[in-house]
A and B are shown apart, each in its own frame.
Chain A
């Protein structure tokens, strides 16, 4: 019988491997291609895990299941499968839906349990300092979740990324320390915020120190574009604060341009299609509560400086000169 799995792909992979140790797990992106290459001589002992299959793929999978061509499981990153589909309905009826979601941000108990599970599988220990570092610097993922017929975004702990990083560390040590996470992937996001905080705190030595790491990670143009994006975020938040708008929901709706998007018809009097650029509500809350040295006018000047540097660099500018000059200018605003 077929199954549906949702949540973390690593957790799903481990669960299937534990339950069916003698079967080979095959990840399938395109059910049509996989079905065409199916061979009864080679594929009967395999489990085909279809990743986020669409309606067309579900038709092919359903037909393969009817013809007894292999074992087929479905995996959805989010619980976004279409419950009206006959195959999904039959799986639902048989109670074969397995939810292996990531723990919600804030569910520290669940997060720590996952860390311990990963570590026990790798037969590795972690120092208390490293554990507390992981709790304070968790890898976070934003996913869409169904709730009361609505899709909303939720923040969860990215267990897959964490598992990858721990696997890398386990390849050379049996005891994980804080230093081992120095080059981990989820540290880069924190670094961007640290860099911007240093910039706003006018701490030029820290800015120059962090900028090298940042350029290495995201390139000079990448750093400037991220900086621009973050300055725009700060500008909107600062402008709201100056206008005495302190409600996080209102600030969030202004940031996401809810008041403008979808309000007007297009040139042909048709509804304009658009994609909402979601913001992290927790960041908005934190930013609203913060007191900044810079006014919205100052932040505007900072944006102008960054834009000028982007133009210079794309023309004939030299990044070894333009970037330090920019950072020095930014801390003086």
Chain B
């Protein structure tokens, strides 16, 4: 570090392969920021404590704090723009990088004898207070079953509507029962219910972005604790804290009523379908025909899949089934079927049920009940 001139106040060194995953995650949080401030502040805050380097970032909705287990020479806080910092680190040609923060020049110099990057920094008046405002809570933490919450989110969040769509269909409802998390999601064209049926248990509503961030956080450790307080979902582990804001949860009846479709529908027939073969056919048909929908036509032991786009042509494929079924036809959104097949077991049972003359497709797999509404 002797090669870097100037009044150095804080020095540290880290191996980029060890910290890149943390920086990538905080960079992702920054990218989900809804409102850009007029005078854009440097968002990644370095908070050294007892000569140990910590970083944190919050975007108003979510935030994450990491202890980098890196020693540093003094306890002076500063901040940098995460996007530039992440870009510099990820593109840096070697893994070992030395850093020197020079407070007089408001700059962070990083590099080695050969390569050097200088980034502009900002002074942070009271980093400790910002940290405690966002990341500390008096509420008691409980042990989090990471596998359970990860499954609950992964199996259901793909069924939420896009962000711009009608609230609360763009969100995921999580609720607790028997010390486990259960989830419900629907975009009005499909429903996913993981675990128990939602009646009126204590629940939280999370946006898809927040739920995706939660599943990513679960890769940072093996054991986690969580608490839900003041409309925020906190997850804590040995080296960090993550929080994300819950959404306005006043639409419980919407999620409560979803189960009625499962209960009120009448059986037409059920059939075991080879997942891989169906997935291959579906992808082939939807890519060739460029149609959003696919026709399911059952006759004896054959499932005929077809899609037609007017003026462009179409494609069809046959799958032989292990059993004979009744003659039946229905149309579904091909993308929804493809996504569903990504989340179900190998030999999945397709249950076709009648609901006011509409053929609903119901599938149960990995503790999750899925329902896909027909297109006509």
Q: Is A264 an interface residue (CB 8 A)?
A: no
Binds A, one of B125-133, B160-168, B217-225, B324-332: B160-168
Would B187 and A37 count as touching, CB distance under 8 A? Answer: yes
User: Would you list which residues of chain A between 178 and 236 have a CB under 8 Å from chain B?
Assistant: none
Q: Is A39 an interface residue (CB 8 A)?
A: yes
Nearest chain B CB to A324's CB is how many angstroms away? 22
- Tell whether, in the assembled complex, residue A39 and residue B165 are in contact, meaning their CB atoms are under 8 Å apart: no
**Chain A residues with CB under 8 A of B165:** 33, 37
Interface positions, chain B 149-183, Cβ under 8 Å from A, are 161, 164-166, 169
- Whether B164 contacts A39 by the Cβ 8 Å rule is no
A37 and B166 within 8 A (CB): yes
Closest residue of chain B to A42 (Cβ to Cβ) is B188
User: Which chain A positions have C-beta within 8 A of B189?
Assistant: 37, 39
Residues of chain B lying within 8 A (CB to CB) of residue A37: 161, 165-166, 169, 187-189
Q: In the complex the two chains form, what is the Cα distance from A273 to B123 in whole Å?
A: 45
Residues of B288-302 at the interface with A, using a CB-CB cut-off of 8 Å, are: none
Q: Using CB atoms, name the residue of chain A closest to B356.
A: A41
**Interface contact B373-A26, CB-CB below 8 Å:** no
Mark out the residues of chain B between 201 and 254 whose CB falls within 8 Å of any chain A CB in the assembled complex. Answer: none
Question: Measured between alpha carbons, how far is A30 from B189 in the docked complex, in Å?
Answer: 19
Residues of chain B contacted by A39 (CB below 8 angstroms): 188-189, 373
Which of A30, A41, A43 contacts B164, CB < 8 Å?
A30
From A26, A38, A42, name the one whose CB has the most chain B CB atoms within 10 angstroms: A42
Give complex CA distance A43, B166 in Å.
11
**Interface of B (DSSP majority class):** loop
Decide if B261 is an interface residue (CB 8 Å cutoff): yes
Q: CA A235 – CA B299 in complex, angstroms? A: 85
A residues 9-34 in Cβ contact with B at 8 Å: 26, 30, 33-34
A164 smallest CB distance to B (angstroms): 18
Residues on the B chain within 8 Å of A41, using CB = 188, 261, 358, 373
Name the residue of chain A whose CB is nearest to the CB of B166: A26
Binary flags per residue of B242-278, CB closer than 8 Å to A gives 1, else 0? 0000000000000000000100000000000000000
Contacts of B188 in A (CB 8 A): 37-39, 41-43
A37–B187 Cα gap in the complex (Å)? 8
A206 to chain B, nearest CB (A): 29
User: For A38, what are the chain B residues with a Cβ–Cβ distance below 8 Å?
Assistant: 188
Q: List, in ascending order, chain A residues with CB within 8 A of B261's CB.
A: 41
B164 near A33: Cβ-Cβ < 8 Å = yes
Nearest A-chain residue to B261, judged by Cβ: A41
In the complex, A37→B163 CA distance in Å? 12
Smallest Cβ-Cβ distance to A26: which chain B residue: B166
By beta carbon, the residue of chain B nearest A36 is: B165
Closest Cβ of chain B to A211, distance in Å, is 20
Q: Across the interface, name the chain B residue whose C-beta is closest to A39.
A: B188
Complex interface: chain B residues within 8 A of A33 (CB)? 164-165
Per the bound structure, the CA–CA distance linking A34 and B188 in Å amounts to 12
The proximity string for B residues 28-62 relative to A, scoring 1 for CB distances below 8 Å and 0 otherwise, is 00000000000000000000000000000000000
Chain A, residue nearest B189 (CB):
A39
User: What is the chain A residue whose CB lies nearest that of B371?
Assistant: A41
User: How far is A43 from B189 in the complex, measured between Cα atoms in Å?
Assistant: 11
Smallest distance from the beta carbon of A256 to chain B beta carbons, Å?
A: 29
Complex CA distance for A38 and B188, rounded to whole angstroms: 8
Interface residues of A in 250-299 (CB under 8 A from B): none
The CA-CA distance from A275 to B166 in the complex, in Å, is 35
Query: B258: nearest residue on chain A (CB-CB)?
Result: A42
Chain B residues within an 8 Å CB radius of A42: 188
Closest chain A residue to B373, Cβ basis: A41
Complex Cα distance, B278 from A206, in Å, reads 77
Question: Shortest beta-carbon distance, B361 to chain A, in Å?
Answer: 13
Min Cβ gap B36→A in Å is 16
- CB neighbours (8 Å) of B164 from chain A are 30, 33
Interchain residue pairs with CB less than 8 A apart (5): A30-B164, A37-B188, A37-B189, A39-B189, A42-B188
Query: Which 9 residue pairs are nearest across A and B when measured between Cβ atoms?
Result: A39-B188, A42-B188, A37-B165, A41-B373, A33-B164, A39-B189, A26-B166, A37-B161, A37-B188
Binding site for B on A (CB under 8 A): 26, 30, 33-34, 37-39, 41-43
Which residues of B line the A interface, CB within 8 A? Answer: 161, 164-166, 169, 187-189, 261, 358, 373
* New A-B contacts (18) at CB < 8 Å, excluding given A37-B166, A41-B261: A26-B166, A30-B164, A33-B165, A34-B166, A37-B161, A37-B165, A37-B169, A37-B187, A37-B188, A37-B189, A38-B188, A39-B188, A39-B189, A41-B188, A41-B358, A41-B373, A42-B188, A43-B188
